[in-house]
Amino acid sequence: MGRYIGRRVLTFIPILLIMSIVIFFIIQLPPGDYLTSYVAGLKAEGQIVDESEMESLKERYGLDQPWFIQYFKWMWGILTRFDFGYSFDYEKPVWPVIAEVLPMTIIVSLATMLFNYLVGIPIGIYSAVHQYSIGDYCFTFVGFLGMAVPNFLFAILLMYGTYIWTGTAFIGLYTSDILVGLQQGTLQWYDLLLRGDFWGRMAIPIIVIGTSGTCGTLRSMRAQMLDELGRNYVLCARAKGVSERRIIYKYCLRAALNPTVSGLSGVLSHIFNGSTISAIVMNLQLVGPRLYNALKAQDMYLAGTILLVMGFLIVLGTLLSDILLAWLDPRIRFSGRRGEG
């Protein structure tokens, strides 16, 4: 297992390098650049733009060079100085722009992931064990409904419902006093973890962003548990007098968790971006809306860095899922040993 993990870790660097090339190339595909979009906006407002100033700005930011030269300079800065470039739209280095919203993105992501697994897995087990019961039908209906309703529409409905019920729509993660405290430096992001009003505003984003994944986990867990409960080893264990609880939670559950664990890579990257459209609708200060604004403004270094971090999470999630699968399913470990021999 140690050698397997070591080999997978060594493949991180070439995979991330190839991913970074593809990301940077795709970002550069649309015609023009940030300055082109910026000047087009100024001309639309009736302002006169000096062409010589445009050329000097292009030379200053390196936008007059081919995309592969820009890419090599970007990667060289990352590898040698941990410098992810300059955000044209925010007029400051890229990483501080991401760092402003990274803590809240991580908090929302972890809370959403916990909501996904702590709700979806137990309900899926219940639905499989109590197949065709009233509870199973209710949870199945809720699961299909949660997967079918778009997240942004669900967010609008929840915000409207809370406004009718409480008089407040709970738009955004911060109240006015929290926002002022963060801007003045009298309040840090970790102080928010002890505030009830902050968690009250967190409820809607967690439910909205996590509902689709939770319903998918519920459906997957139910199907896998039903498949495992019908296998011969379960009949054999029952014939030998093994308790039903032990059969379900020690044997069937471990095998049924395989598809859920294998999807960890996609869950990490998807939750990290904060479900961009839903985050924009709910005015959440997360990474997703910043990625959208960067792509719209052709802020290539900011967009490329966010996409590179998401790619890193995909690779990391794939490694973690492979390790967890080998721990959950002994057949994977044994097949790996035969392959090594």
Q: Tell me how far CA of residue 136 lies from CA of 82, 207, 256, in angstroms.
A: 51, 21, 18
Phi (first) and psi of residue 327, to 5 degrees? -75, -40
pLDDT, greater one: 61 or 219:
219
* Domains defined along the chain, listed by start: 31-83 (no CATH), 99-296 (1.10.3720.10)
pLDDT, greater one: 141 or 329:
141
Tokens read off for 252:
């069937």
* pLDDT at 340 exceeding the cut of 50: no
Give pLDDT tens digits for 88-105. 888 889 999 888 888 888
pTM above 0.85, yes or no: no
Task: Report, as an integer, the average pLDDT of 137-142.
Answer: 88
* pLDDT at 134 exceeding the cut of 80: yes
DSSP symbol at 187: S
| Contact criterion met (CB below 8 Å) for 62 and 73 | yes
> Residue 9's pLDDT band (boundaries 50, 70, 90)?
confident
Cα-based torsion angle of the residue sequence 331, 320, 117, 115 in order, rounded to the nearest 10 degrees: 180
* pLDDT at 341 exceeding the cut of 60: no
* pLDDT at 334 exceeding the cut of 60: no
Burial class from Cβ neighbours inside 10 Å (0-12, 13-18, 19+) for residue 53 reads exposed
* Measured distance CA(341)–CA(331) in Å, rounded: 15
